[in-house]
Amino acid sequence: MAARSGGAAMLLRRGPVLGLSPVPRRYLYKKKWATTSPRIPATRLALHHFDTTYSLQLQERWPAVRSAMLCEQKYGALLNNFASADLIAQQLELLSATDFVSQAARRARCWQENESVEVERRKTSLEGSGGDGMMVPAQTSPLLHASVSSNIKCYTFPRGDISRFHPAWPDSLGILSYYLMDAASLLPVLALNVQPDDLVLDLCAAPGGKTLALLQTGACGHLAANDVSISRTKRLYHILKSYVPKEIRETVSITSHDGRDWGELQGGTFHKVLVDVPCTTDRHSVMEEENNIFHKMRTKERQMLPMMQLQLLMAGILAAKPEGEVVYSTCSLSQLQNEHVVERAIDIAETQFNITVHVEDLSHFRMLFQDTFCFFSGCRLGELVLPHLTANFGPMYFCKLRRA
Ligand SMILES: C[S@@+](CC[C@H](N)C(=O)[O-])C[C@H]1O[C@@H](n2cnc3c(N)ncnc32)[C@H](O)[C@@H]1O
């Protein structure tokens, strides 16, 4: 702005000095705009930045991911168990949508049954050959322990089908029947695997899609939902009011603290902690000018993101009980915001807090959800959903940590 008025002032002075005949004002302005370099849209800056970094990181996969991010994303309809939802499920099925969570849960059960039959078979054949059964190799496949919350139901249209869901409508009590969200956003919640009576912390909760999904498990003993932004916390209140009956809402405590201080406020308290951090929101950044973190004036904030993410993840680790579990997630493809943050946090937990943190293997998610999402197999730690034209969800990175 300052440069613009400075430039305009110079133009206005120049006429009389040069003794030129008065020039109509509109031409002066034309000249001013012509000499002022045009503002580069933040979306273009974002795309340029991603072209540079993600073409190295994702290599030959980047052009396809890029095209998908520039196209309309797909949504999932998270069924609201607090509404009279049976009829809704039937209606969604009539539209050819399927519940990908229940499908994955069935698949996990099926694999587990097959695996135990296989273990039995090997044991019997070893006994038959004179072995003592102790020779059966320990089954370490995470599939054996995979459990998917069957209470969460989320409908998506099949791969390649770009139909859209209608907006949700309220039941007779005014509770909305489903919540439209990027279906990949459910994966961090499923990875958290909330068990009955778990004390759960959602450290960066607003506007509340994952908070709502956590409540759908019906398992949270207590849910603390926090977000530093007061205006976004209001949106969280609004979502809970539209989807959750009062008696359940009363079991949720909503706060607006800076999550980085949480470890000091309530350290070692929670069984499960979700740390869904602010990030470069890659899809938003290449599509929307409004609230875009690639705006020039937000450069510093963007550069500080990995530090902020690290501090939030550290607070999440400190807030967890010993043996407690933490899921870290972003909606960015950036290694700097994903694996690097996790690696740094594990290191700091060990060296500065004497806390050992293990990374849990979530590779079975790739098999369980392969029909719905397109996964990147090259992450050093955690899992990453890549946007793809036939399955246009994500990006979504998630990594599960367990505090020793
Ligand atoms: C990716 S969004 C969370 C989305 C949310 N989990 C959901 O599923 O709807 C990140 C959130 O982190 C919040 N945030 C940013 N800095 C924070 C901080 N220091 N402490 C807590 N929350 C923070 C932002 O206000 C934003 O709402």
pLDDT tens per residue across span 202-218: 999 999 999 999 999 99
Q: Is the CB of 387 under 6 A from ligand 1?
A: no
The span from the CA of 79 to the CA of 90, in Å, is 11
Grade residue 149 by pLDDT with cuts at 50, 70 and 90: confident
58-105+141-403: in CATH 3.40.50.150: yes
- How far is the centre of ligand 1, averaged over its atoms, from the C-alpha of 353 (Å)? 25
pLDDT tens per residue across span 231-261: 999 999 999 999 999 999 999 999 999 999 9
Instruction: From the CA of 236, give the closest atom in ligand 1.
Output: 9
Question: What are the backbone dihedrals phi and psi of residue 119, each rounded to the nearest 5 degrees, phi first?
Answer: -60, -45
- C-alpha 13: how far from chain center: 54
Grade residue 266 by pLDDT with cuts at 50, 70 and 90: confident
For the chain, domain boundaries: 58-105+141-403
Q: Is the CB of 208 under 6 A from ligand 1?
A: yes
- How far is the centre of ligand 1, averaged over its atoms, from the C-alpha of 59 (Å)? 30
Looking at per-residue pLDDT, the higher value among 168 and 34 belongs to: 168
- How far is the centre of ligand 1, averaged over its atoms, from the C-alpha of 272 (Å)? 17
Annotated binding site for S-adenosyl-L-methionine: 204-210, 227, 258, 276
pLDDT confidence of residue 140: 55
* CA distances for 336 relative to 44, 357, 361, 381, angstroms: 21, 20, 20, 12
Q: Is the CB of 210 under 6 A from ligand 1?
A: yes
pLDDT confidence of residue 11: 30
pLDDT confidence of residue 30: 54
The residues, ordered by sequence, that sit 6+ positions from 79 with a Cβ below 8 Å of its Cβ are 85, 88, 89, 99, 153, 154, 155, 177, 178, 216
Q: Is the CB of 306 under 6 A from ligand 1?
A: no
- How far is the centre of ligand 1, averaged over its atoms, from the C-alpha of 276 (Å)? 7
Residue pair 97/155 in contact by the 8 Å Cβ criterion: yes
Which one of 154, 220, 279, 331 is the catalytic residue? 331
pLDDT confidence of residue 2: 34
pLDDT tens per residue across span 185-206: 999 999 999 999 999 999 999 9
The span from the CA of 270 to the CA of 321, in Å, is 5
Closest CA to 78 of 158, 191, 168: 168
> CA triplet 66, 306, 340: central angle to 5 degrees?
80
> Catalytic annotation on 331?
yes
Portion of the chain with pLDDT greater than 70, in percent: 84
User: Is the pLDDT reported for residue 172 higher than 90?
Assistant: no
Q: Is the CB of 278 under 6 A from ligand 1?
A: yes
The span from the CA of 277 to the CA of 396, in Å, is 11
Q: Is the CB of 205 under 6 A from ligand 1?
A: yes
Instruction: From the CA of 277, give the closest atom in ligand 1.
Output: 10
Query: Quick one: which H or E segment has residue 224?
Result: strand 220-226
Closest CA to 252 of 264, 242, 244: 244
pLDDT tens per residue across span 16-70: 333 344 545 555 555 555 456 668 999 999 999 999 999 999 999 999 999 999 9
